[in-house]
Amino acid sequence: MNVKTFMMLAGVGVVFSGCVSVESFSPDALKHFAAPQELIAKKNLNQTNGSAKAYVYDWGPQRKELAAESLIPRKYMGSYCQSQQGHLKLAYKSTMSMLKNSWSKKLLATYRDVNQGIGAYRCVRKNGPDWIVSIEPVSERKRDGQGEVRIVHLLTQVMTEDEARRFYRSASSSSKKANTSTNRNNKNTKAVAKEPEPKESPELPAEKPPAPVKAEPVVAATPQQQQMKYYVAARRDLNSGRNELNACNSAQRAYNYGRLQGTNARNVYAESGILLARCLSAVPSFSNRFSQPKARAKRILQELANQYNHAGAKRMLRQMK
């Protein structure tokens, strides 16, 4: 093999090292996942411990032909939504509130391949409940030993409607307060600058810029832990007869995690489906949000009866006839 051939093959290897195949984004390749949270876990959109994962958003001037990785989470969620006969649309715009470094915020705001892949997205489905996924930048930096390559850590999470509303409204108000404070400081600085300076002032040595602080990774609970938390809250509140709407929201959240790995997780998925069916058929404050709620409840119960041979699901189906 001559040197020219070797260099050409090496270049091809570099190009494909940063790519995800087009086929992996096709709806047909993703339709077997039971829930968006299962897709997030199986496709490793976050790190294995649930923390934000690094994606290249700028390969630098030497490899600018490479596609940015920062759109990967949104592309996966969009294709998965299509596989469920739905379409993904932006529900809440990101203010990058989890990013603590203002310089990083300004830098990322200039990159289309970042802005088009962050925020909260709602999957609007023809049949079945809608779901929301949040994709948020947590930190940004140069990749170690990679020259001009820059990466952004993205945290991908499934949220309920209430959680998304609270998170993004809070983030938006915090961002406005920060901007107001910055503008006020700038005005004060300009006012001070207009005052005449003393003629004799000792020259001070230039201060060194502070060393960049590495952001601590944001660690989320495992999908199994999150699913269990919502199921326990839903069962407790429904059985006590209080906070029924919150209980039903929790049941829906637990069910939307899908069939996760582990015996306990499979049981939690089935039992949260039973609770969700109860909500759809017997809690008006929750069921009124859906078209044909009883038909939705029946579909959930039929799945549990057929695939899990669930006695409770069979009993509820008999009662609904």
Which tens digits make up the pLDDT trace of 20-52? 554 578 899 998 998 999 999 999 999 988 899
**Domain contains 30:** yes
The two most distant CA atoms of the chain are separated, in Å, by: 93
Task: Identify whether 50 is part of a domain.
Answer: yes
DSSP β-ladder status, 150-159 and 86-92: unpaired
- Asked whether residue 60 falls in the same domain as residue 153, the answer is yes
- Same domain assignment for residues 250 and 315: yes
**166 and 231, same structural domain?**
no
Full DSSP string of 125-150: ESSS--EEEEEEEEEEEEPTTSTT-E
Q: pLDDT at position 229, please?
A: 87
Whole-model pTM: value is 0.57
Residues of the chain with pLDDT under 50: 3-18, 22, 189-205
- What does DSSP assign to residue 242? S
Q: Does residue 236 fall inside a structural domain?
A: yes
Range of the domain at 301: 223-320
pLDDT in tens, 87-124: 999 999 999 999 988 899 999 999 999 999 999 999 99
Asked, for residue 175, whether it belongs to a domain, the answer is no
Instruction: Count structural domains, the chain.
Output: 2
d(CA 167, CA 151) in angstroms, rounded, equals: 24
Q: Looking at the domain assignment, is residue 209 inside a domain?
A: no
Cα–Cα distance, 121 to 301 (Å, whole number):
28
The predicted structure's pLDDT at residue 122: 96
Residue 203 has what pLDDT? 47
